Amino acid sequence: MRQRLLRIGASELKYEIRGIVEKAEKIKANGQEILWENIGDPIQKNCQVPEWMKDTIKDLLSQNDTYGYSHSKGVPETRKFLAEKTNRLNGVQITFEDILFFNGLGDAISKIYDYILPTSRIIGPSPAYSTHSSAEAAHANHEPITYKLDPKNNWYPDLDDLYNKIKYNPSIVGILIINPDNPTGMVYPETTLKKIVEIAQEFDLFLISDEIYQNITYNNSKVKTLAEVIGKVPGIAMKGISKEFPWPGARCGWTEFYNRGADADFNMLCQTLENAKMIEVCSTKLPQLAIPRIMLDERYPEFRISLNNKIGKRSDELTNLLGDIDEIYFNPTYGAFYNTIVFKEGVLNNHQTMEVQNEQNKLILDEWINQPSLEADSRFVYYLLAAKGVCVVPISSFCSDLQGFRVTLLEEDEVLFAETFKRIREGIIEYVGS
Ligand SMILES: Cc1ncc(COP(=O)(O)O)c(C=O)c1O
């Protein structure tokens, strides 16, 4: 090209959750059946959308108005419904004008960071859901700035680390919280959230809270939302239906702007996001129309409770299967539908193996593990794929220097779930003992 084409930040866009699929497909092509544990898509893991929910959507499809554009910020009745829901929490109060719809929360995530000055940074958790950390790093043309989630303390945020990083880095303008968390399955305690709000207040920062899993909690856990603890601090809550209904293919999520009036710059960020959506015209309309109809249906709460109970049961089963392995840090989960398993320091090395039966896959694996500067957890993950046919995601690809991997708690088929985690258990024991 006549001029350089890409900005430096472009190289920060990585998404191993889908990247690992390419590798798994190669293993599969040689006849190895694959148990997919890489992506948080309940539908892919055999979750059935109930017939009454499908009927609600069919009804909408028979109405002519469904086929037009919506208001650029989203369907007003749906935004009013959602604003009232938030206001009933008795925390921060909003109107429907504070709600903006996107084509999935992924769309909201990439837009939010895009319009912030590259030199102004948002600190996020590590490990992190990589859509956030990649988009933030791409906007800054620099690697992400992170605070630690601590596997030795239930994956709770290390608040001293967060405080010190913010204190000594004046470029930080905001804090990202993911609650319940992807990839750890942790639910932030209220006291932790309040401390994070205090830190934001002390340093004049705004907050972003990704709450896409807000209604997916189990085993006696409940989420405190940002709306309930934020007080007068400016903030953005991010919500969606991909996981909750679940309807990831709808590409529908929304942001709620809290305390817009508290800061002129923050208000301009909200306005800019609204303008960006206006230029695009609007977001997907059908799922927006469906939201109040589905959430107000009396069958909805019991449907969600039953799914949550099943995830909670699988979380317990995972604890039974992996909780006693000495070489890993294992934390039972309470929200979302993931678990991140971390190898203890010094456990992994470059000589460990698992037995691979298929000769062609042995050759492929050899090529993968001989790449220069391969992370130790990627090496384990490639072995697990080639030897046991289980596809998980290395935790080093979640913006973390820990060594481990993420699994999901989504498999609805009990036999398949037990088989998957039996193979993972055997894989860990064989690899670390080799
Ligand atoms: C924490 C978190 N935020 C956002 C998203 C993206 O959701 P959507 O399907 O609405 O783009 C995901 C998807 O896995 C997620 O885990």
Average pLDDT estimate for 371-383: 93
Instruction: Give the pLDDT band (50/70/90) at residue 3.
Output: confident
Residue ranges of E strands in 179-304: 206-210, 235-240, 253-258
Q: What is the pTM of this model?
A: 0.95
Report whether pLDDT(15) > 80.
Answer: no
C-alpha distances (whole Å) from 392 to each of 19, 215, 286, 338 are 11, 25, 33, 11
Per-residue pLDDT of 308-359, as tens digits, reads 999 999 999 999 999 999 999 999 999 999 999 999 999 999 999 999 999 9
C-alpha distances (whole Å) from 58 to each of 67, 165, 255 are 13, 50, 26
Determine if ligand 1 sits within 6 Å of the CB of residue 38.
Answer: no
The crossing angle, in degrees rounded to 10, of helices 286-295 and 76-87 is 40
Closest CA to 304 of 245, 356, 247, 354: 245
CB 333 within 8 A of CB 409: yes
The pLDDT value recorded for residue 203 is 98
The pLDDT value recorded for residue 14 is 65
Residue ranges of E strands in 75-195: 99-102, 121-126, 146-150, 156-157, 172-178
Instruction: Give the pLDDT band (50/70/90) at residue 109.
Output: very high
Instruction: Give the pLDDT band (50/70/90) at residue 9.
Output: low
What pairing do the DSSP bridges indicate for beta strands 172-178 and 121-126? parallel
Instruction: Give the pLDDT band (50/70/90) at residue 8.
Output: confident
Per-residue pLDDT of 29-43, as tens digits, reads 999 999 999 888 999
Query: What whole-number distance in Å separates Cα of residue 408 and Cα of residue 344?
Result: 21
Residue at token pair 């193996």:
353
Residue at token pair 């749906």:
78
Determine if ligand 1 sits within 6 Å of the CB of residue 104.
Answer: yes
Q: Quote the ligand 1 centre to 387 CA distance (angstroms).
A: 30
Query: What whole-number distance in Å separates Cα of residue 193 and Cα of residue 189?
Result: 7
The pLDDT value recorded for residue 21 is 86
Determine if ligand 1 sits within 6 Å of the CB of residue 237.
Answer: no
Determine if ligand 1 sits within 6 Å of the CB of residue 178.
Answer: yes
The pLDDT value recorded for residue 147 is 98
Query: What whole-number distance in Å separates Cα of residue 299 and Cα of residue 305?
Result: 10
